[in-house]
Amino acid sequence: MADHFLTKSQIDLSQCLPWGGGLALEAHGALRAALAARISQRAADLFAEPLINRGNDAAPASISWYSAHAGEGRPLSELDETEQARVAAQLSDLLRPVRELLADSEDGTLIGAALHLAGSARGDVWVVDGQPVLINWGMLPAGADRSQASRSAHYNRTLGRFLPLSKAPPLTEDERRQRADAAGPSPLAAAGAGIGGAAAGGDAPPPEPPAPVPPPDEAPPPRRLRAWEWAPLLVLLLLVGGAVIWLLIPGNRLFPPRMAAVVEDARAAEIAAEINAALEARRAALQAALDGAQCRADGTLIMPGGRTIEGLLPPVPGSPADRPGQRAEADPTPVLPPDPARVQVPDLDPGDPGSTAVADASLLEVIESRTVMVVARGPDGVATGSGFFVAPDLVMTNFHVVSGAASDSIFVTNRSLGTLRPTQLLRADGPFEPTGSDFALLRVPGVSARHFTLLRPAGSLKLQSVIAAGYPGDVLATDTAFAALTSGDISAVPDLTVTDGTVNTEQAVSAAIRAVVHSAPISQGNSGGPLVDMCGRVVGMNTFVRQGALRNLNFALSAPDVIGFLRAAGASPSITGTDCRPEVLRPGVPAEQVTPVEAGPEPGATPGGDAPRLPDFGALPPRAD
């Protein structure tokens, strides 16, 4: 028997799940033996030992829980964010091998019953001596429906966070046999459609495509447009067609081969289903906008919601506020993102003059001055990636961009810095596969640069317009400034590449890390670069691409996870949680009114001493991460 008392739970015995003519709780010994023999002793120690008091008329039933680990136990919810993330990753690792046992004829239903928790993941997961321990297992909430659909929803809210499954763990032989019959390579695996290019097999077959929506009843023919009135509609058709063509072009993974299995098979299928649904919704919205668009007499194209294609209310003839170059508030979810050179970034934090824009700065200016190219010399040659300032002298990037580089062989540059700058690696968490993290923090000595504000959103980011910025390798290959840099000219700065799109969905890619899935095209070399909303805040860090048969999906690790990493590193980034209400200059701005792009050294920047020595590119072509 486990010797170390944890806590006591008052229960209703009807909450307990049956197994083998008794309760699953009463089979703790058999459960422990099966896990120890078939997985590991650590997996067996995961389930606390119950001592059941069945109660009487005077007292309710209760369970005393005991752990094999010595020390004081605490619920997961009482730990700080960093420790919660560590324990969550550990719990995922312990549970991962359990999936294969759920179809086992001998132990499948017992293990399936044990994976049901009566409460929540935060309350029923305890931590003892740094190890996760489960209490209230083998039970459901009092009065809960025991159908598989209801149990699946409850499971996804509890242990499903750490061991994703398409259906609740089996309780009966029929459910176990269904799982066994469904085992084997899935169509996703055969198509090579896993995250990052990995084969995704799994727990469930991929979802069926949505049924086609029948067309609406025929409407009376609209007024025939004059030839010149077709121009805006033609532009919209070309933009939509271009987006479709891009979706058909295969892309590249940003992670090296060992990072292929980013998401568990079953979760990969669920992610694919949710992203498909988001893309279908986006396509439907674009089609509805195209069908309902109208041209005004002045040539302005008006969407069905009464706004222009970039989210502005149509101009009122003669109104001073609607003249070219005047600011106007835009819809944060327009049909197509507005021109970032006309989006005006508000000063989100007047007390921190470096965190956002100077007066009247455009979104493009903000992005260009705060995004950097990262150059890292490692044993395999020189790698290039992207990064962004999160403090006057701190740059965030991906672990896999700088992995293997010597501490004195990592450099950054952009137009504002004006030259290649040496950095110091302060903290790195990765690689992703064993740790669930892919972050690195660099210090740039002697620099005081303007930096991004990070967004901790209060709600969903779906359909928000976003900009991805970075230095993709396929663009650098034809950049003359990059060729000069590789030849030894440290003052040569390649051009920054920006692409726009919308957020498709948000997904958990590990037990502790969430990703923002978006449609702004990225490729190798964008790793570590910022994903920015229309108010100039970072909503994620571009990290990898999932290559599918017909399209590529772009993943950015979420800003809240970047914030958690920075705080663990002792940094204090600028953070906001306000909703974005972008302001856009009316079209037709005279050239003399456009604010010039920030150039030269940032205010407060000081010389970095002797010019840094360019890493020896040698005969090896640079690789992009």
DSSP of 313-367: PPPPTT-GGGSTT-EEE--SS-SSPPPTTTEEPP-S-TT-TTTS--TT-BHHHHH
Judgement on whether residues 156 and 44 belong to the same structural domain of the protein: yes
pLDDT for position 338: 72
Residue 66's region, left for phi above 0, alpha for psi from -120 to 50, else beta, is: beta
Task: Give pLDDT, residue 516.
Answer: 92
How far is it, in rounded angstroms, from Cα 325 to Cα 587? 7
Residues 300 and 367 in one domain: no
User: Does residue 41 lie in a domain region?
Assistant: yes
Q: Is 511 inside any structural domain?
A: yes
Is residue 251 assigned to a domain?
A: no
Indicate if 108 and 148 belong to the same structural domain.
yes
d(CA 50, CA 72): 17
pLDDT of residue 624: 64
Query: In order along the chain (625 residues), what is the average pLDDT of each group of 10 residues?
Result: 79 90 91 92 92 79 89 87 86 90 91 91 86 94 88 89 89 88 46 30 40 41 52 64 52 40 52 68 73 72 74 68 68 70 65 49 88 88 91 94 86 92 91 84 93 90 90 88 85 90 84 86 91 92 76 86 93 89 70 44 42 53 59
Domain end call among 183, 218, 252: 183
pLDDT score for 448:
92
How high is the pLDDT of residue 507?
A: 83
* pLDDT at residue 2, rounded to an integer: 62
By the 8 A CB rule, do 388 and 370 touch? Answer: yes
Q: Return d(Cα 463, Cα 363) in angstroms, integer.
A: 19
Burial class (CB in 10 A: 0-12, 13-18, 19+), 429: middle
**557: containing domain:** 359-576
Identify the residue whose tokens are 């860090």: 541
Last residue of a domain, one of 131, 150, 183: 183
**Same domain membership, residue 158 and residue 110:** yes
The predicted structure's pLDDT at residue 612: 54
DSSP string of 396-445? EE-HHHHTT--TTSEEEE-TTT-S-EE-EEEEEE--HHHHS--EEEEE-T
Closest CA to 535 of 310, 352, 368, 356: 356
Can you tell me the distance from the alpha carbon of 524 to that of 304, in angstroms, rounded to the nearest whole number? 38
CATH of the domain at 377: 2.40.10.120
Residue 586 within any structural domain of the chain: no
Owner of token pair 């109660």: 55
Same domain, 390 and 303: no
382 and 323 within one domain: no
Domain count, the chain: 3
Q: Which of 133, 151, 183 is the last residue of a domain?
A: 183
Q: Within this chain, do residues 379 and 507 fall inside the same structural domain, yes or no?
A: yes
Element (H, E) at 62: strand 61-67
313 & 392 share domain? no
pLDDT at 319: 67
Q: Are residues 27 and 146 in the same domain?
A: yes
Contact 332/581 with Cβ under 8 angstroms?
A: yes
Residues 304, 385, single domain; the answer is no
Is position 263 within any domain? no
Return d(Cα 46, Cα 66) in angstroms, integer. 11
**pLDDT of res. 623:** 60
How far apart are alpha carbons 182 and 384 in whole angstroms? 43
- Return the pLDDT at 553: 79
Q: Where are the alpha helices (DSSP H) in 225-304?
A: 230-248, 265-292
